Amino acid sequence: MFGKKKRQILRLLVVEDEPLIAFDAEHLLTEQEYVVVATVDRVADAVAVLEGDSEVHLVLVDVSLADGSGLDVARAAQARSIPVLFVTGHAPQEAEALAIGWLSKPYTQRGLLSAIETCEKVRAGKPPRRLPSGFTLFGVAA
């Protein structure tokens, strides 16, 4: 009766080319009972996951990847109506048209979880009262 609220964002794709950050994010998210569909470090691999049969509710993507730009991953996600959260040191202006928001690196574990929860609220049409530290919400008055 008073259990956990059912998440609308449960299945995540993590696109990060810094191994330690990718490992930490995957571990934290799994520990918090999210399903990490895949953790990849290349644009091509991320697009392949998005084009495959896996259901993805949110893409966490760095902008600067070894083989290209996370913006390309965001475009592929947007074409499938999958929301994107940029997790990067600097989000270019173009990012605003492709994502719900941007979480600035370095971030805390709590900051990452709060940013995902904020994305879920926005997707549900509930404007957040307060934004997590280091998080910028695109296209929605906060």
**Mean pLDDT, residues 100-121:** 95
Angle in degrees, 0-180, between the axes of helices 43-51 and 70-79, rounded to the nearest 10: 10
Give the confidence band of 141 by pLDDT, cuts at 50, 70, 90. very low
Residues 138 and 96 sit within 8 Å (Cβ to Cβ): yes
Rounded Cα distance, 122 and 4, in Å: 19
Read off the pTM. Answer: 0.92
Residue 83 near residue 137, CB atoms below 8 Å: no
Tell me what pLDDT residue 2 has: 53
Residue 3: pLDDT band (50, 70, 90) is low
pLDDT(85) > 60 = yes
CATH numbers and ranges of domains, the chain: 11-137 (3.40.50.2300)
- Is 39 a residue whose pLDDT tops 60? yes
pLDDT tens digits, 47-74: 999 999 999 999 999 999 989 999 999 9
- Condensed to tens digits (0 to 9), the pLDDT of residues 16-25 reads 999 999 999 9
Question: By CB neighbour count within 10 A (0-12 exposed, 13-18 middle, 19+ buried), where does 56 fall?
Answer: buried
- 101-114 average pLDDT score: 96
The CA distance from 59 to 70, in Å, is 10
